[in-house]
Amino acid sequence: MKQLIAANWKMNGQPDWADKVSALTALVPDPSCDLLICPPHPLVGSLAITAEGTPIKIGGQDCSEYEAGAHTGETDAALLVTLGATYVIVGHSERRAAGETDTRVKAKAERAINQGLRPIVCVGESLAQREAGEAVSVVTNQLEASLPASGDYDIAYEPIWAIGTGRTATAGDIAQMHAAIRNAVGSGPRILYGGSVKPANAVEILRTPEVGGALVGGASLDMESFSKIAHAAISER
């Protein structure tokens, strides 16, 4: 299976950022990996139109566990599909920090699958949990409670202490956690690493055992930077 290099633009972007799809296509015309951009929801439709006929997929940064209805501020998975999305991130650490529970993450993932989206289910531990020796147990417990009962999905391991801090887990840290995740979930889902991934460390990270790709934050806002991470990907793992 190809590695997945996914861009999480978070709350960044303007209408003209649809042009970044063309820029990325020019920089990575024949990718050896699967490429995904997850922009803010108002930009999903325009990016999906621009991405038609290219290798680039478009996804959402979150979705509701509910069907369309009286849920102010939520985004229906079915609407994301209508706009052209094929993936969606659920359970990102920033959403969990805002109070999102494992139960809700699982419900969102299952709703996404039922509507034809492939969820990327995020898990990860805090610095305090790691220093207490609880990292593996925290992550495996999140997996048990957050993963959908059936269907196709990917997993993103994002150590919370390495997101937006400039700190990156060592290759040994990543290998240990990804091995624990693989042992917990078995074969099937790709296990992405997310946590200050950038061109300077992409090769080492993407060649670490059981790393099936990267969930990229800040470095994905610049297409030249993001393309360098894509070029570091392994074609088959």
Q: Which residues contact 84 (CB under 8 A, 6 or more apart)?
A: 44, 45, 47, 48, 49, 51, 52, 58
Whether residue 236 is contained in a domain is answered as: no
Give the model's pLDDT for residue 161: 87
Please write the tens of the pLDDT for every residue from 124-164: 999 999 999 999 999 999 999 999 999 999 999 999 988 76
Q: What is the DSSP string of 199-218?
A: HHHHHHHHTSTT--EEEESG
Give yes or no: 71 in active site: no
Calpha distance 101→97 (Å, rounded): 9
Percent of the chain with pLDDT over 90: 92
Report the 10 Å Cβ neighbour count for 199. 17
Tokens 């993963």 correspond to what residue? 147
Mean pLDDT on 71-87: 98
Whether residue 76 is contained in a domain is answered as: yes
Whether residue 58 is contained in a domain is answered as: yes
Give yes or no: 158 in active site: yes
Query: Looking at 92, 94, 125, 178, which residue is catalytic?
Result: 92
Q: What is the DSSP string of 109-139?
A: HHHHHHTT-EEEEEE---HHHHHTT-HHHHH
Known binding positions for substrate: 8-10, 164, 196, 217-218
Give the model's pLDDT for residue 235: 84
* More confident of the two residues 220 and 131: 220
Calpha distance 28→31 (Å, rounded): 6
Res. 68 pLDDT band, cuts 50 70 90:
very high
Beta bridge partners of 193: 157, 214
| Alpha-helix runs per DSSP H in the chain | 19-27, 44-51, 77-83, 93-97, 102-114, 127-131, 135-146, 171-185, 199-206, 223-231
The answer to whether residue 9 scores a pLDDT higher than 90 is yes
Whether residue 39 is contained in a domain is answered as: yes
8 A C-beta contact, residue 236 and residue 27:
no
Known binding positions: 8-10, 164, 196, 217-218
Give the model's pLDDT for residue 133: 95
Q: Which structural domain range is residue 208 located in?
A: 4-231
CATH code: domain of residue 198: 3.20.20.70
The answer to whether residue 116 scores a pLDDT higher than 80 is yes
Whether residue 207 is contained in a domain is answered as: yes
Give the model's pLDDT for residue 166: 66
Report the domain count for the chain: 1
Whether residue 91 is contained in a domain is answered as: yes
Give the model's pLDDT for residue 101: 98
Give the model's pLDDT for residue 31: 96
Specify the DSSP element, H or E, that contains 28.
none
User: Which pTM was predicted?
Assistant: 0.97
Whether residue 115 is contained in a domain is answered as: yes
Whether residue 237 is contained in a domain is answered as: no
Query: Looking at 65, 110, 125, 158, which residue is catalytic?
Result: 158
Q: What are the structure tokens assigned to 107, written together?
A: 């419900």
